[in-house]
Structure formats: structure tokens, C-alpha cells
Amino acid sequence: MIATPRLVQVRQHLLKENDVLARVLRQRFHDAGTTVVSLVSSPGAGKTALLERLLTDCGADYRVAALVGDLATDNDARRLARSGAPVRQIVTGTVCHLDARMIAGALADWTLADLDLLFIENVGNLVCPASYDLGENRRIVIVSVTEGEDKPRKYPTIFDSADLAVVTKMDLADAVGFDRAAFEASVAAVRPGMPIEYVSSRSGEGMASLCHMIAPPIHRRATAGVAL
């Protein structure tokens, strides 16, 4: 007798394991009263310089800490530790993104209730991090003025997963002929309505406004890229 195939409904998100863990993390952050902000960008967009500023500037009013992801070295963690905030490096080896499991592991012995604001700096990559929910409240996508105004159109998925765009290196904007209107049109094309902040980590321009935007209390970011 020939067996007849049967179709069994599963309907599970392929990144379910990550999503489940991210939901657990989000609940933990919420219960502890910790606002979590993640930063994604291409390598060299100025994530670490921005984070250095954020730890110092937001650190004046809030208890801040950071997790930083890179494929190798703890250079960023050592650089950021100068701010006095607790900083931990996540070395991913060859993995091109952070996932919820890495975050849970890195936080294992931290007391979240002691933190108001936790930053997570993802691996420099505008592709893979888009698919991984880290349990954060808000995801910031960072673009520097030197990268070209059409970056959002080139990497729409990461912009679709983010809540806020931050343009860095504004002190170089005139020198490189950064076209603000073109950039805003590019963001609006792929993520209509997403707010945009303009900063210079070097001069401090725009930092007060950015700190104000991400400062607690804010909770509940929409789960990025997940239709369950």
C-alpha cells in the first residue's frame, strides 16, 4: 500500500527560539524598570563614539550600562569603560549579529534593577541584525553623513526593523555635502514616519535631544520584523 502524504500545520516563526527568549528578556527588563536601547549600523558609522557620548551624557541622570558586540577584540568595551559605566563585551567569533541568547548570557550576573538604561551595541552589519529581536524597547539605526543619503533604500530591512534613525558625524556634514532632505526622503520611503535625530559625537551637537528621546520611561517597542 502506498502511503498518502498528510499536511500538518505548524505555523511557527523560524526564529521562534530567539523570539521566545527575546520576550522573556523584554519582560525581565520591564519588571526591573530597565529601558533597553539597541544600536545597529554598518561598521564605522560611529556607534561606539555615539555610545561613549550617550554613556557620559545620559549617565549624568540615569544609571547606565552597555553590552557591545564585535567579532573579535574587547577594544570597544575597554574604550567605553572609561565612562565609568559597567560595560561588557560580547565576542561573537564569526557570528554576524547578536541574538537574544547572547544577551541573556552576557547579563547573567548583572542586577537589572540597578540599571535605568541599558545600551546594546550590535555587530556592525546592516543586514543580519534586522531579523533578531533582542528584547530591546527601542532599536536605533545609525547612519553617518559620509555613507550616502540613499543608505535606507539600500538596506530597507534594517530600517524597517528600527524605531529611530540617528545621523552621526554632523560636524562633517558640510564638508561631505550631506543632503538632509534626500536622506529624509530615503527614510520616508522605507519607514514612513520614523523620527530622525542628527548628532555629532565629537561636538556634542544634538546629544541633548537624543538623550531626551531615549530616556526612560519608555517601554514596549513593536517586535521587529515578526508577524506572529
Q: Which residues are near another protein by CB under 8 A?
A: 3-18, 95-97, 99, 127-128, 130-132, 153, 156-158, 160-161, 188-193, 225-227
Nearer to another protein, 97 or 221 (CB): 97
Pick 68 or 123: Cβ nearer another protein: 123
CB 51 within 8 A of CB 39: yes
Question: In sequence order, what are the beta bridge partners of 152?
Answer: none
Sheet holding 64-70, edge to edge: 87-91, 64-70, 117-121, 35-41, 138-144, 164-168, 196-198
Task: Report, in Å, the least distance between residue 209 CB and another protein.
Answer: 23
CB of 160 to another protein, least distance (A): 5
CB of 225 to another protein, least distance (A): 5
Rounded Cα gap, residues 113 and 42, in angstroms: 31
- Taking the least distance from each CB to another protein, the nearer of 74 and 160 is 160
In whole angstroms, what is the distance from residue 38 CA to residue 98 CA? Answer: 10
* Closest distance to another protein from the beta carbon of 202 (Å): 32
Of 82 and 154, nearer to another protein (C-beta) is 154
Measured CA to CA, the distance from residue 130 to residue 163 in angstroms comes to 12
